[in-house]
Amino acid sequence: MITRRALLAAPAVLTLSRTARAEAKILRIGTQKGGPILMAERQQRGMEALLNPLGVEVKWLEFAFGPPIMEAIRVGAIDIGYAGDAPPIFAQAAKTDLLYLAAVPASAEGILLPPGSELKKLSDLKGKRVAFARGSSAHNMTIAAIEKAGLSLSDIQQTPLAPADAAAAFERGAIDAWTIWDPFYAIHEARPGVRTLVTSDGIAEQNSFLLGARSFVEANQNLTREVVAEFTRVCEWAAANKSEVVRLVSEGTGVPLEATQRQIDRYPFRVVPMAASHIKSQQDIADRFQRAGVTPVKVNVADAVWRFAS
C-alpha cells in the first residue's frame, strides 16, 4: 500500500511544497462510479495525504458517467475530472474551456444482447433498438460499430439512456442491444442468456482521460502536475496489487466481487502523457461525430491539450 510517508518523501512532492500554498486551497475532483483509478485513490486517501499537509483540501464529487462531469467543469463546479473519449469532444463542441491533462488507456466495452436475442453480427442491428448513453464513450463505440457494418445511425433505432435506465430497459427486454462499459458491462455480461455481440477491440480504440478546467489548470500549474503524478503513482501500485484493488473498488461501489474481478482483470492501469497518437484518436472520434451529424461544429482536439510549462 502506498503510505503517507512514501508519498511525502517523493521528490515531486518537495517541488510542490514550495508552490502549492500560493495556488488553490481546494481541489474538487469529479469521478464516476466504478472508475478503478479514482476509486483506488479515493479509498486510499493518497491525494489527501499528499495535499492536506500543504493546506489544500480535497473534495470528491461522484457522477453517474462522463457527460455530467464535463458539465460540472463547464459551470465551474469541479476542477479536475475523469471521463471517457467522447465526453470531452461533446464538451469542446459546446464551448467548454477544458484541457486534456493525461490519457488513461481503458478496457474494452461491449455491445450486449439480452436473453433470447437472435442477432449474430453487427449488420443485424439494422432496424433494432440500440441503447447507449448520449455523449459517452458508448456513443462513440455504437457509431464506430455500425459504420464497420456498413450502416449509419439512421439505420438503427437510437435509444439514448443513462446507464441505470439502460440496465433496467435491458433487464425487461425493452431494447435489442446495449453498448456499455465497465462496471455495468462486467455486471451484466455474466447474466444467464446474455451474450456479447462484439467488443470494442478492433472497432474503436478505448481511452479515458484526466481533464481539467482551463482556468484552474493555468492558475495552478504545479498543483495540476502533482495531481497527475499522484494518479500515475496509484496506477503503478494498482497494477501490482490487483487483488487489493478489487476489494477497494467492490467496497466503494457495492458491485459484487466476481464482477469487479472481471473489470479489474482487463483494466490496463496506466496514466500516460498526452501523445500525438491520443490526439489523433480523439480527433478521429470528433470527426466521426461531425460526419454522423451528432456534433454540429468542427472540434480541434489539439487546441485543448495541456502543455505544462516548467
Domains of the chain: 4-107+206-304 (3.40.190.10), 110-199 (3.40.190.10)
Write out pLDDT tens, residues 130-170.
999 999 999 999 999 999 999 999 999 999 999 999 999 99
Phi, psi of 246 (to 5 degrees): -55, -45
Percent of the chain with pLDDT over 70: 92
Pairing of strands 57-63, 26-32: parallel
Q: How many Cα atoms are found within 13 Å in the side-chain-facing hemisphere of 210? A: 26
Does pLDDT of 266 surpass 80? yes
Q: What is the pTM of this model?
A: 0.87
Within 80-162, where are the H helices?
Answer: 86-93, 137-148
Q: What is the pLDDT of residue 202?
A: 84
The bridge status of strand 98-105 relative to strand 129-132 is unpaired
Measured CA to CA in angstroms, residue 106 lies from 37, 119, 234, 266, 300 at distances of: 11, 27, 16, 9, 22
Q: Over the Cα atoms of the chain, what is R_g?
A: 20
Cell numbers standing for residue 294: 451528432
CA distance 132 to 140: 9
Q: How far apart are CA 230 and CA 184, in angstroms?
A: 27
Whether residue 310 has pLDDT greater than 80: no
